[in-house]
Structures are given as structure tokens and as C-alpha cells.
Structure 1
Amino acid sequence: MTKKILVLGGAHIDRRGRIFGDTAPGASNPGSWFEEPGGGGFNAARNLARLGFDVRLISPRGGDAVGEMVAEAARQAGVDDRPFIFLDRKTPSYTAIIENDGNLVIALADMELYKLFGPRRLTIRAVRDAFDEADLVLCDANLPSETLTAIARKAASCGKPVAAIAISPAKVVRLLPCLGDIDHLFLNEAEAAALTESRPEDPLQWVENLRAIGLKGGVITRGQREAIAFTADEIISLQPPTVENVADVTGAGDSFAAGILSGLLNGLDLSQAVRHGAAAAAITVQSPLATAENLSPELLNAMLSLVPQSKMLS
């Protein structure tokens, strides 16, 4: 039977400007402009749907043309889109400037609408049913802290595992009140530092610091250095594969999370699930889009041949 995933989080418009040549700070830079639907939860939802899961997405959205673009992108990816639409508001947006090599220069997030997605929305019958039917609940830190806490506690009360995407150092702290109810948190070093108020060099210390504030399990990505994944009783490292022809790193973390969750839901242990995450991220960064439209279980399995075996650290 196909596993069902409930995603609650960001689904908005991503606008990206790419600089053609060397970046000149404080000056006009020749480049091009591109926009597409995005958001941490939405990117992960599309990736998981393309990997064969039954995905339902619930997110706040404005009653504008941008909201319609998001809905169409969800439909094309096979996501069951169930938004809360605020007809008099605009859909949130994320605007980024990307260097010629694909790295981020700076970004601006206009996410005020997400504040209207309060805990009371979870009491609606259709939302309660979605929790009951899900095999996994995934949220992202675009939502208010009190809503994230309500999501995690509701999922825990239903006996459903909870995963979360950190989004940014400024937003990940919204998860602090509910860390103990989260089974898998996906974050990078900057986000881990914001949570723990520390920045150790030793990867094992990252895990110790996160466990100390109540987190049961998670994955810390560290750029081209080894990613660190952990549960309550194991710690694993994985060297990301070298990827040629990087088109855009936008969405890589979201696909990494989706790949790992797909592996876990398919019965893999953490050491193998992390390799699936790395393979999904490698496919994504070769695409100019935040999610690779050609992502499939078959392509993911083919990419695994380029991903090294993970290592047990503890």
C-alpha cells in the first residue's frame, strides 16, 4: 500500500536572479530573472510525490495569480493540494540573488501570510482526518512557533512520526518548544548553531549539543563536508558525492530531506536512507529548478552508484 504523507508548511513563489559574470557587490550586475513555485514544505512534497508517495499539502495561500501558479505546480507533481486561501492577501514570496556558480548571495523572504496559519486551523475536520490517515507528518519552520508545536503534539498524539525542515537560522528557533516531539529535523550548520548557540568543529559535538536540547534525531548538512545523521542511539556520517554541472543549489536541502524520508518509509535503515537523500540532492542541483522534474525512483536508484557508503561514528 502506498504510504501517505501529510505536509504542512511553505508553498509560495521563488524568484531568483542569476548573475552572469563575477559578482560586483554594491553595483549593478548583468543577469537574468526567473521565478517558480517553491517553499521548503512544497519542494519536499513535490519530491516525495515524484518518488511514488501519496502526498497531501496544507498551506496558507493568497487569492492571487501566484497562488494559482503554486496550485498548478502541485497538480503537475501529483500532490493533493488543500490550501487555506485568504482571498484578500498575497501569496508569500522568496527572492534570491544567485552567483554565476550557483551559490546564494542574498535573499529576502516576504512570509507575513504564514502568521495567519494558527493552531486553530488544525481543529478543522478535514485537517484532523489528514493527520489520522498519514503515515508521516512533515512540517517546516515557515509556520508560527505555536502552530509548529500544535502540529508536532497532534502528530505525536496520533502516534505518527514527525519530520521538520529548518528553513533558515532565523526560523529554526521556532521549533525549540516542540523539539522533543520531532523525530527527524533537517538542518544545516548555521541552523544548528542558531538552535544550540554553539558552533563546534567536531561533528560528534553537533549531535551532543542537539540531543542536549531535546532533539531525538536529525540530519546536519555541511556543504561539501560530511553530512551527519543521528537517532537516539546512532550517529552516521556521509560524504556527499561530487556533482558536475551544478545548475542551481536552490532546493537541494529539501530534496535531501525528501530522499531520506523516502528511504525510511520504504524500510531502509538510517545509513542507507541518508544515501538516498544525497542522491536526491545530487539530482536536484543539476536542475535549474528547485525540484527536478525528472526525479523518479528509477533515477534515484541510478544516482546511488555515485554516492559513497555512509560511516558509523557511534
Structure 2
Amino acid sequence: MKQHRIAVFGGAHIDRRGRISGRTAPGASNPGTWFEETGGGGFNAARNLARLGHRVRMISPRGGDAAGELIAAAAAVAGVIDCPFTFLDRKTPSYTAILENDGNLVIALADMELYAHFSPRRLLQRATRELVAASDLVLMDANLPQETLAALVRAASGEGRLVAGIAVSPAKVIRYGECLAGLDFLFMNEAEARALTGADNADAEAWPALLRAAGLSGGVVTRGGRAAVAFDRLSACLASPPSLPALADVTGAGDALASGFLSARLSGLELAASLRHGMAAAMITLRSPYAAAEEMSLSNLREALALVPVPRMLS
């Protein structure tokens, strides 16, 4: 597979997840376990794409603290070229969640203020402009401010370059509103698709028309364990994910799907084949306890592909 040049703009932060061991006792100390790793939609995708053989640069705001050093170390391990905008007097963003024993969320705290400081003017720096111009794919996530996403889409559009986005959450995906038409693909789940379109209870096959009407020319909508739908300007397809005997953690599966899909698309594969590659990458992540699976590789992706069914083309 040819190595492509990729620039990723977006979230690179610390994810902390605490799981209560027994029955939740509100307002009291609960025994449990604690897990911490580096995360962020953009950073997860950047590490996956690097492990799939691409030359990836990650551009993200970061604090001058120990958490920022952890992210730099994780980038190096995955083979990502780290290009942070470092704010020495601020904290690296973090997301902290407390989960019940069954995995349901009790409460979470998102300390993401630093992302608001990634303004459009930072895209005007010569090194950043040259990086975008030299890239085959520019990928972003909605942790960035709305005006920055719009400016980045404008800067990246044209010259045969792929421009793609990761939704992150229903609350943040609407930040793409004014630049949807400039994206080649947007990766989202059903809740995020509903936030963009205002549609409730849409069937999988209805999402391409609804999202095109909203201004998007291509995207993928995942639906948990149910069939995912992908579309571009000319076609649409539907594929059901294979059942897995056990799931380690669903965190990062959507970012992995975006990575596998875009890697295939960069290699010239059509929509259905790209969706299969995306689902295979998601499978690898679902088997891993980490949001960016250390097992992600071309050889493991080929093995996982054998388990993914051929998508059904939609009329």
C-alpha cells in the first residue's frame, strides 16, 4: 500500500475512566478501578493511520504539563509526527468519566477549554499552510472551534485532496454546519446524524438523502451493532458489522472506522470496499482495551477483512 501524507487537526488529550466495582452509592466513596490513556478523536485516528503505513502529522493545542508529555510519548510510539501548538501556561485538555459497574455513565467532566484557543489565525502560519498544501488528506475533528473548522476546510479544499471530519459528539458536530459542503466525508453515529439533520427515527437507508439535503456530499453513519451506511456523491451502501464474542471497549471504534475507510479511499478503493476496510479497523479496536489499538496494522487489517461481509449497494 502506498504511503500517503496526512495532516490531522483536532483533539489530543487525556482520557480517564473510573469504573465502580459494585452497586453505585451516590454521594459516597465507591470502590472501583481507574484507567487512563491518551485519546481524542483526531489523535486516535492519527495513530491508526500511522500504524497503517501512512506519514501522519498531528496538529493540536497542548498545555505545558505532564499530560502533554504523555501525548507526545504516545505519538512517538505510534509513529505520528507530533506538531503541537503548546501553551506553556495552560493545562492539556482532559476527559474524566465515572462509570457504573455495567459501563453506564454516572457523570463526566470535560476540561476542553484549551481547544477554544486554536483560532483560525494559527492556520495562517507558513509551516501550517505548507503542511496542508503537501497533504493528500486533511482530517479534523469537532473539538476545534466552528470558525477554525470552516477556515481549515477552505484552506484544504481543492487540488484533489481529501477533506474529512470526525463528529465527536451530537453537541459538537453542528460546528461543521457552515462547511459541510466542503467535506468529502464526515464520520458520525446516528445521534450525531440526527443533530445535523433534525430527523428522528430515520431508517439506515434514509440517512444518505437526509445528509445530502443538509449539504454533505459523503459520509458514514454507524449504528452500534446494527448496519452502518456509507455514501458519496454517486452511490450509497449498507453493511452489517460481524458479531464479536467479546468487546474489550467501544471507545475509539468510530475513529478506527474512519481511519480504515480513509486509508482505503486514499488507495483508490470504491465506497463499498472502503466501508469494509473501515469496519475491519473498528473490529481490531473493539478487541483492544485501548482507544487506539496497538494491534492496528496492515496484516491484521487484512485478516479482519475476511470477517466483514460485502456491503449491499443502495439504489
Identify the TM-score tier after normalising by the shorter chain.
Answer: over 0.9
Q: Which residue of 1 aligns with 2:183?
A: 182
Asked if 1 retains the 8 angstrom alpha-carbon contact of 2:236 and 2:271, the reply is no
* Residue type of the alignment partner of 1:220: V
Aligned equivalent of 1:41: 42
Q: Which runs of 5+ in 1 are unaligned?
A: none
CA deviation after TM superposition for structure 1 residue 208, in Å: 1.4
- Work out the CA distance in 2 between the residues paired with 1:248 and 1:224: 13
Task: Show the counterpart of 1:138.
Answer: 139
Q: Which amino acid aligns with 2:126?
A: R
The match for 1:92 is 93
TM-score by length of 1: 0.95
Q: Which residue of 2 aligns with 1:224?
A: 225
- How far apart, in 1, do the equivalents of 2:118 and 2:245 lie? 40
- Identical columns (%): 62
What is the CA–CA distance in structure 1 between the aligned matches of 2:157 and 2:267, rounded to whole Å? 21
Aligned with 1:88: secondary structure?
coil
1:1-314 matched pairs, under 5 angstroms: 1-21=2-22, 29-100=30-101, 104=105, 106-314=107-315
C-alpha distance in 2 between matches for 1:42 and 1:14: 12
Structure 1 position 273, deviation (Å) = 1.0
C-alpha displacement of 1:109: 1.7
Q: How far, CA to CA, are the matches of 2:134 and 2:84 in structure 1? A: 18
Seen in structure 2, the aligned counterparts of structure 1 residues 259 and 105 have a Cα distance that, compared at 3 Å, is farther
**Conserved 8 A contact 1:12-1:92:** yes
Checking the alignment, whether the CA contact within 8 Å between 2:4 and 2:266 is kept in structure 1 is yes
Matches of 2:21 and 2:244, distance apart in 1: 21
- Helix, strand or coil at the partner of 2:157: helix
Aligned equivalents of 1:48, 1:246: Cα separation in 2: 22
Distance in structure 2 (CA, Å) of the matches to 1:89 and 1:16:
22
Q: Which secondary structure state, in structure 2, belongs to the residue aligned with residue 236 of structure 1?
A: strand
Q: Distance in 1 between matches of 2:39 and 2:157?
A: 27
Alpha-carbon distance in structure 2 between the residues aligned to 1:106 and 1:269? 41
Offset from partner CA, 1:10-37 (integer Å, 9 cap, x none): 0010111123356677775532111111
Alpha-carbon distance, 1:8 to partner: 0.3
**Residues 115 and 272 (structure 1 numbering): CA distance in 2 closer, same or farther, change over 3 Å?**
same
Moved more, 11-20 or 166-175: 11-20
Q: How big is each residue's C-alpha offset from its partner over 1:35-67, in whole Å with a ceiling of 9 and x where there is no partner?
A: 111100000000000000000110000000000
Q: Give the Cα separation in 1 of the matches to 2:225 and 2:37.
A: 26
Q: Once structures 1 and 2 are overlaid, which stretch shifts more, 41-50 or 203-212? A: 203-212
In structure 1, give the amino acid aligned to 2:254.
G
Deviations 1:239-271 (A, max 9, x none): 011112211111111011101111111221110
Distance 1:244 1:46, change over 3 A: same
One-letter identity of the residue aligned with 1:222: R
Structure 2 residue ranges without an equivalent (≥5): none
2:303 maps to a residue whose letter is: A
| Equivalent AA in structure 2 for residue 84 of structure 1 | F
Between the aligned partners of 2:282 and 2:91, the Cα distance in structure 1 is 30
Following superposition, the deviation at residue 197 of structure 1 comes to: 1.1
* Secondary structure of residue in 1 paired with 2:96: strand
Does structure 2 conserve the Cα–Cα contact (< 8 Å) formed by 1:115 and 1:144?
yes
Aligned equivalents of 2:246 and 2:314: distance in 1? 31
Alignment RMSD (CA, Å): 1.7
**Which residue identity lines up with residue 229 of structure 2 in the other structure?**
I
| Separation (CA, whole Å) in 1 of partners of 2:313 and 2:23 | 40
- Cα separation, 2, equivalents of 1:105 and 1:223: 21
Give the whole-Å Cα distance in 2 for the aligned partners of 1:22 and 1:240.
Answer: 32
CA drift of 1:99 comes to: 4.8
1:104 Cα deviation (Å)?
Answer: 5.0
- The answer to whether the Cα contact below 8 Å between 1:187 and 1:221 also exists between their aligned partners in 2 is yes
Question: What residue identity is the alignment partner of 1:112?
Answer: E
Per-residue deviation, 1:200: 3.2
**Cα separation, 2, equivalents of 1:305 and 1:27:** 48
How far the C-alpha of 1:106 sits from its partner, in A, is 4.6
Following superposition, the deviation at residue 219 of structure 1 comes to: 0.2
Q: Distance in 2 between matches of 1:157 and 1:41?
A: 22
After superposition, the Cα gap between the structure-2 partners of 1:172 and 1:154, relative to the gap in structure 1 and judged at 3 Å, is: same
Alpha-carbon separation, structure 1, partners of 2:313 and 2:95: 37
